[in-house]
Amino acid sequence: MADLKGKILAGKILVEPKAAEEKTASGIIIPDSAKEKPQQGVVVMTGAALKDETMEVKAGDTVFYRKYAGTELHIDGTDYLLLSQSDVLYIA
């Protein structure tokens, strides 16, 4: 995990998405245009809890989230996804 400076607002989490699959199980290489957008990643930072909702995720958790959730950010040469905690479907 990166050592990022900054602050995440309440109810939000910063996730480093898992890399998209390069090959199928049978060894066929997937072109960039056909790659699925990853739906899981590792939580890097979390904001404070909202008044009416506790913060369930913490840094280091692997999470699965909605397919088109969040905002893509590029910080210090790394791609991240800024999500609301409500976009998280499952914590592994």
pTM for the whole structure: 0.79
pLDDT of 18 reads 86
Contact 43, 60 (CB under 8 A): yes
In this prediction, residue 20 carries a pLDDT of 67
Return the domain boundaries, the chain: 12-19+36-91
Q: What is the CATH number of domain 12-19+36-91?
A: 2.30.33.40
pLDDT tens sequence for the chain (92 residues): 557 788 889 999 999 998 766 776 777 777 766 666 778 999 999 999 988 888 899 999 999 998 888 999 998 889 999 999 999 999 98
pLDDT at 59: 92
The set of residues, in sequence order, having a beta carbon less than 8 Å from that of 45 and lying 6+ positions away, is 4, 6, 8, 13, 14, 59
